[in-house]
């Protein structure tokens, strides 16, 4: 079943995608403005359900690559991601039937919509991370056998780079990151070209729908003066992100952040309102681990989201600052992201953390008041329309 | 007129090319071994005189890119430069009629011969620097309007990168250098694809012949117990490198060298035998400027060559060390490398030196004993056979 995504959907999508971005994935405001402008000119974008894809369609995901700290100051001109897609199409000698996100995030859920609007392409309702991760090999596509190569990079001057590292997605990340750094810290890419069959076998399904429903739940609750955190927990309970936990509530008392080797790296300290205890969160573009008094509350690939304490507005790592009053929530990732193969690609050790993965629902985090864990453990989730 | 270059020519070619490399261009021993092995397997290589090229032939130069300090420890496997050529051919949809060096040097005069031997291609007797320079935009090709893009990079694993920065050869260097650094500091490239007409219009002609004649002059003099420096001066006098000067004679007393941003950068101090004065030479892969007591004796693009004091063996920047007893010579570059357009691309200011170009023959360096400057100022030089 395909459906149309229009400008009226963008506020909810940007909000939900940024929350799923778990600190990274780019700024929601910039991403939303880009797509709004494109949709005003070209109309709404057709969204394809992954189950409806013919097996032999060519799907080429598109994305922004770089440090979110840089993107705040270096906004895309607009044509770059479509230029990257075209470059890869030219190399393969075949046009893509659709594009798709590689991750959820304020920018990277939007970039494929920009490509869809300006290039006249539908966008597949799925992605390769089910959240955001900082590196290109950290894709369910990669985990389940799709090579990221060849990868095309484009910048705002029309310059292009095409990288082919065969099956080696880690080397692909290494070289593409090097080029991105030399392009000023941000670039636009097309990669992980795959068939419709491969999308169905390897992608996290319906994450645009998920972002929309999460965003709408928060916006509706705010409008109706209900608790947005309860609404959020309720929205997740109808998805494959089964468990949601409140990890901490307090005030940001320190943010250490540096842009290095093409990433925004650092840590934040949050002190509880009653002065009782402190949470430390480490990040590499995205939040990686939440630790309270030496106890690990949540760790990648589970989601660690820092939300404004009243509105549940997600705060990205590059915007986080001293004095922010926040609630930190942990969300369980879908089953296909917790397999041994998946944890070997984006588990804690892949980020240099000497830690084991412990599911957030097995940790000491509490349930959000007035909610209960989802009972629906099965794989499918309902499309939003 | 085409001619055959065989394994018996390699010692002289390696020696002469290393001297023309003016401190850079790669180690002669490694380059020579690579081509010797290829010629043992595939036979000699056909060398084409640039004047004989049909206007519409496709010529694709090949080279090694990287810091010479790294190449000493990371020797090529062999197939990389041909893989880069093939990648660029595939991209353009056309086979090259010949390859060509982009610079003179112990490695980079040899890489095209390796490609020629293993790929069954002739090699054009010309290059784009008439010496060695550290950066890709520093080519007479670039000065006179040939774009370096698209550029193909290949490594020993068969991974490839293709970069297209349109007319912007400086950005091409910047991105290719970034990829080279991430490939471990050395990579193999094919770029500046051009027509036979463009070779005739923009290349420094017959520099393989030049390297051979310079190398033979030194080797013959050593064998016959004549002064190799006088033989060297005599050899240059029959070329478009009209003037040769002795700049200094002494012992290396200090070498400061670091491999940084993909280059070997630093400076050497040489003290005269009688303790009277000191010469300082700065380098970025190649020797850039020679200064004695605050007086500039020679500067890029003129050649500054550090030679062992008895044998005239050239010493590359990465091998230079405390205690070396050396004579430093300056050699004038051909007229097409001293035009305002050329100096804007590889004059002193292009290396961050706040200096004017002063021809070495107008400086205070002395003539080499028993020689006189060439009287032949015109453009052409005689092929060696």
Q: Contact A182/B183, CB-based, under 8 Å?
A: no
Q: Contact B175/A161, CB-based, under 8 Å?
A: yes
**A174 at B interface, C-beta within 8 A:** yes
Residues of B in Cβ contact (< 8 Å) with A171: 157, 159
* Closest residue in A to B158 (Cα–Cα): A165
pLDDT at A275: 76
| Cα–Cα dist B238/B240, whole Å | 7
- Which three-class secondary structure state does DSSP give residue B318? coil
CB pairs A-B closer than 8 Å? 59
Residues of A in Cβ contact (< 8 Å) with B171: 157, 159
Give, for all 385 residues of chain B, the pLDDT tens digit.
899 999 999 999 999 999 999 998 888 888 899 899 999 999 999 999 999 999 999 999 999 998 877 877 888 888 999 999 999 999 999 999 999 999 999 899 999 999 999 999 999 999 999 999 999 999 999 999 999 999 999 999 999 999 999 999 999 999 999 999 999 999 999 999 999 999 999 999 999 999 999 999 999 999 999 999 999 999 998 899 999 999 999 999 999 998 888 888 999 999 997 777 999 999 998 999 999 989 999 999 999 999 999 999 999 998 999 999 999 999 999 999 999 999 999 999 999 999 999 999 998 877 775 454 443 333 334 443 3
**A window 180-209, beta carbon within 8 A of B:** 181-183
Contacts 24+ apart (CB under 8 A), A375-378: A376/A237, A376/A238, A376/A242, A377/A242
Segment A16-45 shows an average pLDDT of 92
Q: How close is the nearest chain B Cα to the Cα of A6, in Å?
A: 35
Residues of B in Cβ contact (< 8 Å) with A158: 166
* pLDDT tens profile A284-293: 989 999 999 8
* pLDDT tens profile A231-275: 999 999 889 999 999 999 999 999 999 888 888 899 999 999 777
The domain ranges of chain A are 3-205, 229-362
Q: Contact A164/B165, CB-based, under 8 Å?
A: no
Q: Contact A157/B164, CB-based, under 8 Å?
A: no
Q: Contact B163/A161, CB-based, under 8 Å?
A: yes
- Annotate A7-62 with DSSP letters as a single string: GGGHHHHHHHHHHHTTT-S--HHHHHHHHHHHHHHH--EEEE-GGG--TT-EE--E
Q: How close is the nearest chain A Cα to the Cα of B85, in Å?
A: 15
**A92 at B interface, C-beta within 8 A:** no
Residues of B in Cβ contact (< 8 Å) with A161: 161-164, 175, 179
Residues of A in Cβ contact (< 8 Å) with B168: 157, 159
Provide ipTM, 2 decimals.
0.86
**Of B101, B97, B126, whose CA–CA distance to B113 is shortest?**
B101
Q: Contact A162/B162, CB-based, under 8 Å?
A: yes
Q: Quick one: fold of A3-205? A: CV3147-like fold (3.40.1610)
**B92 at A interface, C-beta within 8 A:** no
Q: Which of B159, B171, B181 sits opposite A171 (nearest CB)?
A: B159
**A144 at B interface, C-beta within 8 A:** no
Q: Contact A160/B163, CB-based, under 8 Å?
A: yes
Do B342 and B204 form a contact (C-beta atoms < 8 A)?
no
**Of A111, A145, A109, whose CA–CA distance to A129 is shortest?**
A109
Domain A229-362 sits in CATH 3.30.70.100: no
pLDDT at A69: 76
pLDDT band at A73 (very low <50, low <70, confident <90, very high): confident
Segment A365-377 shows an average pLDDT of 55
Ramachandran category for residue B221: left, alpha or beta (phi over 0 → left; psi -120 to 50 → alpha): alpha
| Cα–Cα dist A163/A176, whole Å | 7
pLDDT band at A369 (very low <50, low <70, confident <90, very high): low
Do B247 and B314 form a contact (C-beta atoms < 8 A)?
no
* Closest residue in A to B164 (Cα–Cα): A160
Q: Contact A157/B163, CB-based, under 8 Å?
A: no
Q: How close is the nearest chain A Cα to the Cα of B351, in Å?
A: 19
pLDDT at B374: 43
Tallying the residues shown for chain A, one arrives at 385
CATH of domain B227-362: 2.40.390.10
Q: How close is the nearest chain B Cα to the Cα of A117, in Å?
A: 26
**What H or E segment, with its residue span, contains residue B118?**
helix B111-119
- Annotate B350-365 with DSSP letters as a single string: GGT-------GGGSSP
Q: Which of B157, B166, B179 sits opposite A179 (nearest CB)?
A: B179
């Amino acid at each position: 079943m395909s459906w149309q995504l229009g400008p009226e959907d963008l506020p909810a999508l940007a909000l939900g995608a940024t929350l799923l971005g778990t600190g990274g994935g780019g700024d929601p405001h910039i991403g939303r403005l880009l797509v709004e402008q494109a949709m005003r000119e070209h109309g709404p974008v057709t969204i394809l359900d992954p189950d409806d894809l013919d097996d032999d369609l060519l799907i080429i995901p598109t994305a922004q690559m770089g440090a979110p700290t840089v993107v705040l100051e270096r906004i895309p001109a607009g044509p770059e991601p479509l230029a990257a897609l075209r470059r890869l199409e030219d190399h393969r000698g075949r046009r893509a039937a659709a594009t798709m996100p590689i991750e959820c995030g304020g920018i990277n859920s939007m970039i494929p919509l920009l490509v869809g609007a300006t290039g006249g392409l539908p966008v597949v309702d799925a992605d390769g991370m089910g959240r955001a991760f900082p590196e290109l090999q950290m894709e369910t596509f990669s985990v389940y056998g799709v090579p990221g190569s060849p990868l095309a990079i484009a910048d705002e001057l029309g310059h292009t780079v095409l990288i082919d590292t065969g099956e080696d997605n880690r080397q692909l990340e290494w070289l593409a990151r090097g080029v991105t750094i030399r392009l000023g810290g941000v670039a636009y890419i097309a990669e992980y070209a795959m068939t419709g069959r491969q999308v169905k076998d390897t992608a996290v399904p319906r994450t645009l729908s998920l972002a929309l429903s999460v965003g709408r739940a928060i916006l509706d609750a705010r409008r109706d003066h209900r608790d947005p955190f309860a609404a959020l927990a309720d929205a997740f309970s109808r998805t494959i992100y089964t468990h949601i936990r409140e990890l901490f509530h307090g005030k940001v008392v320190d943010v250490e952040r540096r842009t290095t080797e093409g990433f925004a790296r650092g840590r934040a300290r949050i002190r509880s309102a009653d002065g009782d205890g402190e949470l430390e969160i480490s990040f590499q573009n995205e939040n990686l681990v939440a630790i309270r008094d030496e106890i690990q509350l949540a760790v990648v690939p589970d989601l660690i989201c820092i939300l404004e304490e009243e509105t549940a507005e997600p705060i990205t790592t590059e915007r986080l600052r001293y004095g922010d009053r926040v609630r930190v929530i942990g969300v369980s990732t879908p089953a296909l992201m917790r397999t041994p193969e998946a944890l070997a690609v984006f588990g804690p050790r892949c980020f240099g953390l000497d830690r084991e993965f412990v599911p957030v629902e097995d940790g000491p985090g509490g349930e959000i008041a007035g909610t209960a864990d989802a009972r629906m453990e099965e794989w499918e989730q309902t499309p939003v329309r």
